[in-house]
Amino acid sequence: MSLKTRFFASAFLLLTTFSLFSANTWYVATNGVDSNSGDIDHPFATIMHAQSAASSGDTVFLRGGTYFLTVLNLTATNKTGPYVIVNNFTKNNISYIAYPGELPVFDFTAVNTITNRHTAFLAAANNCIFKGFDVVGVQITIPSIHTQSECFRVTGNNNRFEQLRMHDGRGIGWYLTDGANNLVLNCDAWNNRGLDGGSIGNIDGFGCHPGHTSGTGNVISGCRSWFNSDDGYDCINAFAVVTFTNCWSMYNGYYTNFTSTGGDANGIKAGGYGDALGPVPSPVPHHIVEYCLTVSNRANGFYANHHASGQVWLNNTAYRNNVNYDMICNIGNTNTGDVPGFDHVMKNNLGFSAKSSEVSELGNAITNDISYNYFTLSVTVTSGDFQGFDASQLTAPRQANGNLPYIAFAQLVGTSDLVNAGTNDGFAFVGTAPDLGAFEYGSHPLSDAAMVQVGTNLIFTGSDGPGGGTNYLVVTTNLFLPISQWTPIKTNSIDLSGNYTATNADTPGNSQLYYRFRLP
């Protein structure tokens, strides 16, 4: 046999071996039966049976509809807590994904054991993906003691939680106690609240509390949290750095009728170790909060929570919280060790219209790096700096890819002195310098408009604008003029889906006109 023949024979053997280990696809549906084969026409009834059938690299598709779980679906009990587990993920590298175009909803209202906490999904495995489904109705049934339940509890590594919606229950939305390099991407947690005073103060939208200094790389990105009874986001007792990026937090500490829940009520609570509750890790983690938005939380928008050191706060916007930025730190982890915040890095942050105080408990520029913020620069922040504050936009539908909606809320206008007022902190920006706040003016320009002529009218339409915002139809005869020098001829509204239209009479006598849409 020639060398060439042997080469092709070996290649064929390798391809054949690879095909034996190719990934499989399984299906779960509301009309499924666990004794089925698990294919698309004969789906399983439960995720747990799909896990038992799956192997590393497999995908489990979850068909749309509501899955009603009961105590018969319990799979494990953890005696430290104690808490019972409905879905216990122990196999690595399996994806659990909503079937394209369908919404699975897992309802845990009937999982209501009397003496236990409840965990709807325990992610103890590594390298798994959970994407595209709702978790509702998680229960707390133990009254009058310090307790909690969770939609997701995480102890594994390198998992991805994407486009999940955790709402209308009594459990924390997403809760990590251990593990590293987990990503929470484009998820929402809302209207989760405790049973009574014993649990109301525990139910956050998102809680990230790595228990070891090795638990690095956990990131919460593009998420929203609102109307949860305690905090929107919380990383108290975290022994490793947690990163919050591009997240929104609204109305936490309130019921939906805006009465107080009695919980802590912070937008993003970054750090802290309680009063004399235990050891402080070495080194103390400097949590990162960047490009986040907090709105009308009952207590603080951004909160250092008596942390044993400072944290990193970059390009954030706070609006109408009781205190927009509370940077209090603690020395010695004691209830007498509170001091003004020290060792904070704060750049390009923006706040407006706090109910009580814009910035509190922050030390001076000698103990912190706090240049280039709205409270250290020679700028004046007024309502005229913003495109608007229509709160309905904050919970608008997400974009098709799961990203946050592009809204006008708290977006700057082009004439604001807050535009280009910041400093380069390593992120991309438009113009001569970064803007202050979470939204960079001009980073999301309006898409090209279409034009048709109907009679003597020109009708312009466009999409992908900031939902709920405004724009101007502008015109010029000189294409080379800066857009700021074009003549505005109409002010137009953009609907919550980002669509806009304008009608203008055709101007006779002009041989050539150029039209554009421009943001304020």
Q: What is the pLDDT of residues 11-40, one digit of tens each?
A: 333 333 333 456 999 999 999 999 999 999
- Of 385, 400, 420, the position where a domain reaches its end is 385
Radius of gyration of the chain (CA): 26
Kindly state whether residues 478 and 373 are assigned to the same domain: no
- Examine residue 374 and state whether it is found in any structural domain, yes or no: yes
- Examine residue 367 and state whether it is found in any structural domain, yes or no: yes
pLDDT beyond 90 at 387: yes
**Neighbouring C-beta atoms of residue 345, cutoff 10 Å:** 15
**What's the whole-number mean pLDDT along residues 505-518?**
80
Residues 6+ apart with CB under 8 A from 168: 136, 137, 190, 191, 192
pLDDT given at position 277:
58
Kindly state whether residues 343 and 455 are assigned to the same domain: no
Kindly state whether residues 116 and 34 are assigned to the same domain: yes
Q: Reduced to 3 states, what is the DSSP secondary structure of residue 460?
A: strand
What's the pLDDT band for 334 if we cut at 50, 70, 90? confident
Kindly state whether residues 380 and 479 are assigned to the same domain: no
* Rounded distance between C-alpha atoms, residue 341 and residue 430, angstroms: 31
* Rounded distance between C-alpha atoms, residue 166 and residue 163, angstroms: 10
**What's the whole-number mean pLDDT along residues 499-517?**
84
pLDDT given at position 15:
37
Distances (CA, A) of 479 to 473, 487, 489, 491: 15, 12, 16, 21
Kindly state whether residues 254 and 336 are assigned to the same domain: yes
**What's the whole-number mean pLDDT along residues 110-123?**
93
DSSP state of 181: S
From the list 145, 154, 149, 224, the residue with the least C-alpha distance to 185 is 224
What's the pLDDT band for 456 if we cut at 50, 70, 90? confident
* Rounded distance between C-alpha atoms, residue 57 and residue 54, angstroms: 8
Kindly state whether residues 143 and 46 are assigned to the same domain: yes
**Neighbouring C-beta atoms of residue 448, cutoff 10 Å:** 11
Q: What tokens were used for 203?
A: 């139910």
Question: Strands 329-330 and 323-326, how do they pair?
Answer: unpaired
- Of 385, 417, 442, the position where a domain reaches its end is 385
- Examine residue 108 and state whether it is found in any structural domain, yes or no: yes
pLDDT given at position 330:
93
Q: What tokens were used for 415?
A: 């004439």
Q: What tokens were used for 235?
A: 């990383």
Residue span of the structural domain in which 488 resides = 450-518
pLDDT beyond 80 at 3: no
**What's the whole-number mean pLDDT along residues 121-147?**
96
Vertex 351 angle, CA 350 and 356, to 5°: 155
Count of domains for the chain: 2
What's the half-sphere exposure (Cβ side, CA atoms, 13 Å) at 121?
A: 29
Q: What tokens were used for 99?
A: 């079937």
- Examine residue 436 and state whether it is found in any structural domain, yes or no: no
- Examine residue 396 and state whether it is found in any structural domain, yes or no: no
**What's the whole-number mean pLDDT along residues 440-463?**
90
Residue 365 belongs to a domain with what CATH number?
Answer: 2.160.20.10
pTM: 0.93
pLDDT beyond 80 at 379: yes
Kindly state whether residues 345 and 456 are assigned to the same domain: no
* Rounded distance between C-alpha atoms, residue 367 and residue 346, angstroms: 12
**What's the whole-number mean pLDDT along residues 47-69?**
98
Residue position matching structure tokens 């554009």: 516
| Sign of the dihedral through C-alpha 226, 317, 174, 237 | negative
AA identity, residue 254: Y
* Rounded distance between C-alpha atoms, residue 495 and residue 474, angstroms: 19
Kindly state whether residues 122 and 237 are assigned to the same domain: yes
* Rounded distance between C-alpha atoms, residue 306 and residue 304, angstroms: 6
- Of 328, 354, 385, the position where a domain reaches its end is 385
What's the pLDDT band for 445 if we cut at 50, 70, 90? confident
Residue 3 burial (C-beta neighbours within 10 Å; 0-12, 13-18, 19+):
exposed
CA dihedral 488, 494, 498, 500 (to 10 degrees): -60
What's the pLDDT band for 248 if we cut at 50, 70, 90? very high
pLDDT beyond 50 at 220: yes
Kindly state whether residues 369 and 473 are assigned to the same domain: no
- Examine residue 233 and state whether it is found in any structural domain, yes or no: yes
Kindly state whether residues 107 and 253 are assigned to the same domain: yes
**What's the whole-number mean pLDDT along residues 85-91?**
97
What's the pLDDT band for 71 if we cut at 50, 70, 90? very high
